[in-house]
Amino acid sequence: MSQLALRVAAYVQEEQLVIRYAVHNNGVHDAYLLNRLHRASPPEMSPDIAYVELDANNGVVEVAKRIADTPITSGSGPPVPVAPYVTPVRVDETFSETIQLALPVRIYREYGRSPMPDPDHERVVEYQGVRLTLGYYWRDPGVTETPGVALGEAVIIPGGFPRFPELLQIVSPVVPVRVPVVEPGQ
């Protein structure tokens, strides 16, 4: 059982899907959420950047803030994997954030793997729920924190790892909400 507690609410407001989440750390070590996603073009770091997949079989929008899946190619992968910056969640503290995604929601993947808009073959349909996945790892004793700035935002850069941290995920239940999405053409 995770020692992080995740609460998620989702609703549609004007032209956006709004997802509010809160993570409470019930553990004995600080946790680092892998939620500070950024993109290179245009350079930006924002709470509103999230990876999005569509579960068409269940009508669920899958939203994730974590280390992105690395593409499997016949050659090599990306020259440098994209890793998010972290948000520390101290023992017995809570972190909360709001994500706003433009409607209709589209698939968004790292490494330029998002489907290109194709008005002749895609369609807008209504899904019935949203699920949020957050990546995180526990802070090991001896790990240091250095304040820094990335893309104009204050960040915490952990360092001095005694070992590679075990990357974990916490996943919310499906939050019922009617959401227009763009299903790409086949």
- Domain definitions of the chain by residue range: 4-183
Whole-prediction pTM value?
Answer: 0.90
- Average pLDDT taken over every residue of the chain: 89
Name the residue among 88, 98, 104, 77 with its Cα closest to residue 27.
88
Distance CA 8, CA 172 (A): 7
Fill in the DSSP letter of residue 152.
T
Cα-based angle 4, 156, 110 (whole degrees, multiple of 5): 75
124 burial (CB, 10 Å; 0-12 / 13-18 / 19+) is exposed
More reliable by pLDDT, 81 or 40: 40
Rounded mean pLDDT of 155-182? 94
Residue of higher predicted confidence among 76 and 7: 7
Res 139: pLDDT: 95
pLDDT value for 84: 81
The Cβ of residue 155 has, within 10 Å, a number of other Cβ atoms equal to 17
What are phi and psi for residue 166, nearest 5 degrees?
Answer: -75, 120
What percent of the chain has pLDDT above 70? 88
Cβ partners under 8 Å of residue 117, min gap 6: 106, 182
pLDDT at 74 over 60: no
Q: What is the SS3 assignment for 121?
A: coil
CB 177 within 8 A of CB 11: yes
Q: Which residue has the tokens 């990546």?
A: 135
Rounded CA separation 51/114 (Å): 10
